[in-house]
Amino acid sequence: MAFYKGAASEGSRAMRLLKQREKKQEEIERKKKEIEESEAQRVAKVTHINAKFSSHYDAVEAQLKSETVGLVTLNEMKTKQEILVKEREKDLAKKRAEV
């Protein structure tokens, strides 16, 4: 900072304002870090949730494709899909129970 050549009271006022600005800047930096951390946690949760659903759906879909041959009515397809989803949920529940 340059030297101030005015009244002494003005110099102390300038120093006080400078210290206030520094405190506010530190507070802003702290808040920025908090926001970045909370955003990173939110993104991690979202990716974790997306991973759960995509793997479950892909496994059911692949099994449904392998078991379905030729033309099938909509009702038959829905019942097969429901059965496969229930089986998949049972398997996942067994795995969770073992762990």
Residue 70's region, left for phi above 0, alpha for psi from -120 to 50, else beta, is left
How many residues can be counted in the chain? 99
Please report the pLDDT score of residue 62 as a whole number. 84
Distance CA 38, CA 98 (A): 33
Would the pTM count as exceeding 0.85?
A: no
Distance CA 79, CA 35 (A): 46
33 pLDDT band, cuts 50/70/90, is very high
Question: Does residue 3 lie in a domain region?
Answer: no
Q: pLDDT at residue 22 above 70?
A: yes
Question: Does residue 94 lie in a domain region?
Answer: yes
* Contact between residue 56 and residue 81 where contact means Cβ atoms under 8 Å apart: no
What percent of the chain shows pLDDT beyond 70?
A: 81
Task: Supply the range of the domain harboring residue 78.
Answer: 8-98
Question: Does residue 1 lie in a domain region?
Answer: no
Please report the pLDDT score of residue 73 as a whole number. 92
Question: Does residue 51 lie in a domain region?
Answer: yes
